[in-house]
Structure 1
Amino acid sequence: MAPAKLYIGRKVRQIREQNNATQAFFAERLGISTSYLNQIENNQRPVSASVLIALADRFRIDIAEISAGENERLLSALSEAFTDPLFDAYSPTVQELKLITQNAPTFAHALITSHQAYRRKSEQLASFDDRLERPGAYPETTPYEEVRDFFHFVDNYIHDLDLIAEALAERLSVGNRDSYLALTTFLESEFDVRTIVGERGEDFIRRFDAQARTLTLNPYLPIATKAFQVAFQIANLHAGAKIEEIAFAASFRSEEAQEICRVGLQNYFAGALVLPYRKFLLAARELRHDIELLAVRFGTSLEQVCHRLSTLQRPGEKGVPLFFARIDRAGNITKRHSSAKLQFARFGAACPLWNAHQAFEAPGKIIRQLAETPDGVRYLCLAVQVNKGLAGFKATQTPYALALGCEISYSDEFVYADDIYVGSGTGFDPIGISCRICERVACPSRAIPPVKRKLSVDHSERGILPYNLP
């Protein structure tokens, strides 16, 4: 099979502009004509191997980065939008959608946002709920969703914050000794903020008093949570200016979204501080992504480890491309990110055949699954149930399932695949992304028909489903 042609005009143009080079100068450095460079930048011609090598040699560009595939997250979101019956008369090909995401990503984002607004308005009209009567209830992306999309489309990696957190972690030897002690000592010595334990019976997690210069923590928090909450406070005091700069540059539509983003960025910094990038990446490789051993080594929770594994997207130092999600008992995905090809649906519930749902049946046990999506991509999927909340018999604890996985080609880097034969075409469970966009026609677990398939009903015969998908 001939290798796929590489159309990366937008990336090449970005590299040229970052170097403040004209097309003539840039083309000369690459050893090609100006007209050829112009065609490359407009995706009229693919990039040759010699041009890729010249980019790497003369502009110190990582070939793996420049030749990476299309933005899977944006392409997935755009593809899902076009499954809506609204676009029945318009069926763009995958190649056409790729051209849009490559050449006009801003237009793609605008189309996705418009489609979200349309869906919300349709849902409001269909349900006649009281939001129609409330002032300010507009059919637009909520502040929370807007922030979620911000992290989604930056690959859940904030480079500047990660570097600041890693430098501080190195200074404090976080990961080499008790992180909680190191962080509380730094908070007091650097910012004159004492960390104290609150009264029994109070249900808060963390409380900061700027005047008294105290950070009060709930006495029944696990030590990993205590360390994370101290790191969160350090984020505000040590990296507050950079957090403010990033949140402002995101140009959110409301102050509410900007505030939510600040919290998200502080959480990001805290995770990067207790699990510093290079040290954690090397440990993940050494321990072959054994999440329990990683949690023990760094004194963190399983959720912190799984989430951090999904953020290892530093250019030139990337970890294994993973998907990560946190799911509640109702099937709501409360956290999500994927640097793998598998992208979570933006609407509707997750596939019921996914092993994440089984985790609630075996608390504390890591469940493994070999799965295949309708596009033929195969995955190693892991799931484990955890509880979040305070300690104590009467304390409320909320169970969640953590889901983590990679494409099967990376499975040899995971201890969980050692006794599983992944080379066979059998043994892979057929899963989808969401029933509303899944094309599997004979799935006994299907909840609703796919939105772009016509239904036929045979009144004389009943199969797995009460309708047929011709």
Structure 2
Amino acid sequence: MQKTFIGPQLRRLRQERGETQGAMARTLGISASYVNLLENNERSVSVQVLLRLMEEYGVDWRDLADDQTGSILADLRACLQDPIFAGSRPDLAQLRAAVVHAPDLAAALLRLHRAYGSAIDRLSALSQGTLDTTGSPEASVHMIFRRNRNHFRELETAAEGFWQGGPPDRDDIYASLKARLRDRLGVAVRLARVEDMPGALRTYDETRREILLSEALDHPNRSFQLVHMCALMEWRGLLDGLIEKAALPDPSAASRLRVELANYFAAAVLMPYDAFLAEARATKYDFDLMATRFGVSFEQACHRATTLQREGAQGVPFFFLRIDKGGNVTKRFNATEFPLAEYGGACPRLDVHTSFRTPGRIVPQFVEMPDGSRFFVVSRTVDRPSWFRHAQDNRLAVAMGCAIEHASQIGYAEGLSVSTARMTPIGINCRICPRTGCDQRAHQAVIDTRPVDVRRRGATRFDG
């Protein structure tokens, strides 16, 4: 049985109740010294103690055992790549100790660094006269998904009960969804001409109880949009609870989170957890084949793979990155320790940028971060719905990456030697990347105050 450590959660529970370690020990029928060991993660918790905690304190054992140390550790490692910490970076053992024994301090450092990054961005925008005084809803939503390791147990459970009596044949899903909306909710679904829905793919007229889907949507995305609407209407209470739990101060971020949670639910319905995980393992994560088998898009199959983090039935942890042709990050999800940038774009050395040259083809790549961590990444373009002939080539690119030790489980790495593969040195993004002499640097690192050597021209204008 996997050992479970609940130190920070147990300490927080005790402090919220205003109890001493001795008082909690008496309630649980254990010694005060054992409570102390549990709180300091020097002992794993037993099933008996977890049951007593449930009985005496009315808490769900899954909430207590919800270990977020992996994502916090990854965020700390990313944070400490900032040049401001150069020369004084703690090693991995120190970081692990901080996360285990001082989680509130680690969280405070992350909040401070995010505020620092936001301040730098705002100062930069102010100097250019483009200051945006609002926060980023996308960054807030990313933090919520990161905090949950990109997996929502409640949504998975709800999705498993969506099809009473079992799911219909894949060819009948769209018709079954239309019938469900009509019979259960009194909502009609109608396909609309492109010119009748300019710039929109789906709208819902609440007064007329009618969902309009653009004919520009392909069949998989029509089904996806209908399940999304089922989530918003049938499972509104569940979404409300998750949003309330997230405690987002910005209404815009709360609305954005609602959309992403409904998207998560739709993916879980169309790609059931157990079946999708089994197919992923059987095909060695052949996303094209998986998309075909479940009647979804390539991007949807990739996104679903990042959510396979159920305890005891975990898939390969992936990060997901989507960019447009300008290099802007338009979507990101992360179940790994790979430090996705919170500000700015992705590293230009990632081949996700060059995949636009080979549309529809998988581009494999081995990369190495400044701290020495290595990842296997595959990139491919994905096409978006087009309304008119002048809107052709409406294309994005996605990257899926995992730690290099998982590469043997990925079919795209077959024929590639992990031990001898050429590693592409990358960074989080140019703003904080400590690498010098990089010929792809877009601008000087914020903290790098070295004067330019006027006698020398380096690989870029920032490397004199």
| TM-score, with structure 1 as normaliser | 0.81
Structure 1 range deviating more: 434-443 or 405-414? 434-443
Determine the structure 1 residue equivalent to 2:59.
none
What is the CA RMSD across the aligned residues, in angstroms? 3.7
2:183 alignment partner in structure 1:
189
Q: Which residue of 1 aligns with 2:243?
A: 247
Equivalent of 2:436 in 424, 427, 441: 441
The answer to whether the aligner puts 1:199 opposite 2:193 as a matched pair is yes
- 1:369 aligned residue (365, 368, 379): 365
Deviates more, 1:347-356 or 1:87-96: 87-96
Indicate whether 1:381 and 2:377 are aligned: yes
Asked whether 1:10 is paired with 2:8, we answer yes
Alpha-carbon distance in 2 for matches of 1:16, 1:119: 34
CA 1:153–1:445 in 2, change beyond 3 Å: closer, same or farther?
same
- For 2:210 and 2:372, the matched residues in 1 are separated by 54
| Cα shift at 1:240 | 0.9
CA distance in 1, matches of 2:254, 2:64: 31
Q: Write the deviation string for residues 111-145 of structure 1: whole angstroms up to 9, x where unpaired.
A: 5445444444444444345566xxxx64x633332
Name 1:357's counterpart in structure 2.
353
Q: Does 1:147 align with 2:137?
A: no
Cα distance change, pair 329–174 in 1 and its aligned pair in 2 (3 A): farther
Deviates more, 1:237-246 or 1:70-79: 70-79
CA deviations over 1:190-239 (Å, ceiling 9, x no partner): 22222211134232211222333322111221011101111111111221
Matched to 1:225, the amino acid is N
SS of equivalent to 1:434:
coil
Q: Note if contact 1:175-1:297 (Cα within 8 Å) is conserved in structure 2.
A: no
Write out aligned runs for 1:98-117 (5 A): 98-103=96-101, 105=103, 108-117=106-115
Q: Find the counterpart in structure 1 of residue 73 from structure 2.
A: 75
Distance in 2 between residues matched to 1:96 and 1:253, nearest whole Å: 33
8 Å Cα contact 2:40/2:100 also seen in 1 = no
SS in 1 for 2:247: coil
Does the 8 Å contact 2:170/2:295 carry over to 1?
A: no
- In structure 1, runs of 5+ residues without a counterpart are 1-5
- Which residue does 2:150 correspond to in 1? 156
Q: Given that residues 385 and 401 in structure 1 are in contact (C-alpha distance below 8 angstroms), is that contact kept between their aligned partners in structure 2?
A: yes
User: In terms of mean alpha carbon deviation, does 407-416 or 70-79 score higher?
Assistant: 70-79
Q: 2:46 aligns with which of 55, 58, 61?
A: 55
- CA contact 2:83–2:432 (8 Å) conserved in 1: no
Q: Partners of 2:397 and 2:315 in 1: how far apart? A: 23
Question: What percent of counterpart residues are identical?
Answer: 32
| 1:166 aligned residue | 160
Q: Which of residues 293, 302, 306 in structure 2 aligns to 1:306? A: 302
The separation in 2 between residues aligned to 1:110 and 1:290, in whole angstroms, is: 40
**Maintained 8 Å contact 2:83/2:434:** no
Name the SS for the 1:208 alignment partner: strand
Tell me, yes or no, if the aligned pair for 1:252 and 1:258 is still in contact at 8 Å. yes
Answer with 294-303 or 326-335: which moved more.
Answer: 326-335
Call closer, same or farther: CA 1:129–1:120 in 2, change over 3 Å. farther
Q: CA deviation at 1:7?
A: 8.1
Q: 1:322: how far off?
A: 0.8
2:313 partner SS: coil
TM-score, structure 2 length as denominator? 0.82
Residue correspondences, number: 444
Alignment partners' CA distance in 2, 1:462 and 1:82 = 29
| Cα separation, 2, equivalents of 1:163 and 1:391 | 37
SS in 2 for 1:411: helix
CA spacing shift, 1:131–1:377, aligned 2, 3 Å: closer
Q: Distance in 1 between matches of 2:393 and 2:189?
A: 25
CA distance in 1 between counterparts of 2:420 and 2:164 reads: 45
**Alpha-carbon distance in 2 for matches of 1:283, 1:108:** 38
Structure 1 residues 408 and 27, CA, compared in 2 at 3 Å: closer, same or farther? farther
Distance change >3 Å, CA 114–CA 217, structure 1 → 2: same
- For residues 396 and 218 of structure 2, what CA distance do their matches in structure 1 show? 17
Decide whether the 8 Å contact of 2:68 with 2:149 is kept in 1: no
Conserved? CA contact 2:81–2:433, under 8 Å: no
Alpha-carbon distance between aligned partners in 2 of 1:113 and 1:298, rounded to the nearest angstrom: 40
Equivalent of 2:263, from 245, 267, 289?
A: 267
Q: Report the equivalent of 2:24.
A: 22
Q: Is the 8 A contact 1:172 1:182 kept in 2?
A: no
Residues 323 and 398, structure 2, Cα contact 8 Å, conserved in 1: yes
Residue of 398, 402, 408 corresponding to 2:398: 402
Distance 1:91 1:429 in 2: 23
SS in structure 1 opposite 2:352?
Answer: helix
**Greater CA drift, 442-451 or 87-96:** 87-96
Partner-residue secondary structure (3-state), 1:201: helix
Q: Using the alignment, how far apart are the partners of 1:175 and 1:145 within structure 2?
A: 38
Q: What letter matches 2:301 in structure 1?
A: V
Is the Cα contact below 8 Å between 2:194 and 2:387 reproduced in 1? no
SS of alignment partner, residue 419 of structure 1: coil
1:361–1:170: structure 2 CA closer, same or farther, 3 Å change rule?
farther
Secondary structure, aligned partner of 1:390: coil
**Cα distance in structure 2, aligned partners of 1:330 and 1:93:** 36
Query: Aligned partners of 1:66, 1:376: CA distance in 2, in Å?
Result: 33
Cα distance in 2 for partners of 1:418, 1:84 equals 35
For 2:161 and 2:145, the matched residues in 1 are separated by: 22
Tell which deviates more after alignment, 271-280 or 198-207: 198-207
Mapped pair 1:428 → 2:430? no
- Report if aligned partners of 1:162, 1:277 keep a CA contact under 8 Å in 2: yes
- 8 A Cα contact 2:273 2:308, kept in partner: yes
